[in-house]
Structure 1
Amino acid sequence: MTRKIDFYFDFISPFSYLAQLKLPDIARKAGYELEYCPIDIPEAKIAAGNYGPSNREVAPKIKVMMADLNRWARKYDVPLRFPASFACADWNCATLYAREQGKAGAYVTAAFNRIWGQGIDPGDRAELRACATEAGLDPEGLIAFVESPIGQNEYRKARSLAYQRGVFGAPLMFVDDEIFWGNDRLDFLQEYISQQK
């Protein structure tokens, strides 16, 4: 049986970007499959009963969060640029198309690099098409999926299943029945999977 890490993320999340920079290598080295599971963070919070404001609405929290993000970017030696908008829902949905095509890893990596590495505007359809091409996907097929009732229904079902499982934010990783929340928990995740051999 293939062992796997279920990676719940939202392209709106800079901490998901940071986690994704390390997770593929962690999974590969441990012989685990990485399953890419897109969610919607504001929706996940509400589903979990968290009706508080977003981080962007709490000035003292955003100040500390920004400092932490910059520290992580320096630690990982990667660029970190806030995107021009947070219109990421279609990018999340497109992950399911990429998954069906066997290119989820390439797509998610390219998408996070564009959104958080380069700071593009996710609301720009040209950027989504370019990302699809970079990941080896048919851009028109990807756009058609995202805009279709089938694609939107698949994304809605995936989110609903995530929330039923107890997903309340991102990045969140499930391995077996263990849950690891945040890019700063990757050491714990590695420790756990190293003990499963």
Structure 2
Amino acid sequence: MNKTIDFYFDFISPFSYLAQLKLPDLARKTGCTLEYWPIDIPEAKIAAGNYGPSNREVVPKIKVMMADLQRWAIKYAAPLKFPASFACADWNCAVLYARSQGKAEAFVTAAYHQIWGLGIDPGNASELRRCAHDVGLDADALLQFVNSSIGRNEFRKVRSQAYQRGVFGAPLMFVDEQIFWGNDRLDFLESYLINSR
């Protein structure tokens, strides 16, 4: 029986970008289904009782994190450029429209490349429209969904279900009752998937 990897992520997360670079191939290699679930990291932290500052506010931590990001980008031979803003809520919501059209993987991959590979401004709606078009989605319909009460309510429901499940940050990968946190846990995820067949 095929297993499902539930991937919880937020487009503001560069480590989720790094995880997404590897997860689709890992899922195919292990015969798994990869499901995409967008969250809001600051909201997830609060829901889990973590009221501490964001990484960007802790100078010693951000310095080390920046170095780690560069190391991972080199290891993965992937581009890495900080986005012009962190206004990613509409992009996260848009994933649910892409899921409904069977294009979640294509959209998430393209969106992460735009946001963290090229460093575009996700707050610019024309960038979201372009990304939707590039992966064969109806950009008008996607933006209509994102700006509708239906879209906002669906995104709120998905986030609430994630926090009830114990999602406290991103990237988080759930398989069975196992939880793997961070792109640096993908080896553990792969071992689990291979050994639990």
Question: How does the TM-score come out when normalised to structure 2?
Answer: 0.99
Q: 1:13 maps to which residue? A: 13
- TM-align CA RMSD: 0.5
Aligned mates of 1:145, 1:160 — CA distance in 2: 19
Alignment of 1:64 onto 2:64: yes
Offset of residue 2 of structure 1: 3.8
Aligned mates of 2:134, 2:193 — CA distance in 1: 31
Please list the CA deviations of residues 96-125 of structure 1 after superposition, one character each: whole Å capped at 9, or x if unmatched: 000000000000000000000000000001
The equivalences for 1:76-155 within 5 A come to 76-155=76-155
- Structure 1 segments, 4+ long, off by >2 Å, are none
Q: 2:166 maps to which residue? A: 166
Unaligned runs of 5+ in 1: none
Q: 2:23 maps to which residue? A: 23
Aligned mates of 2:105, 2:2 — CA distance in 1: 17
SS in 2 for 1:34: strand
Aligned mates of 1:166, 1:155 — CA distance in 2: 17
Equivalences, count: 197
Offset of residue 3 of structure 1: 1.6
Identity of aligned residues (%): 75
Please list the CA deviations of residues 10-68 of structure 1 after superposition, one character each: whole Å capped at 9, or x if unmatched: 00000000000000000001110000000000000000000000000000000000000
Q: Which amino acid aligns with 1:71?
A: R
Unaligned runs of 5+ in 2: none
Alignment of 1:188 onto 2:197: no
Q: Which amino acid aligns with 1:94?
A: A
Offset of residue 136 of structure 1: 1.0
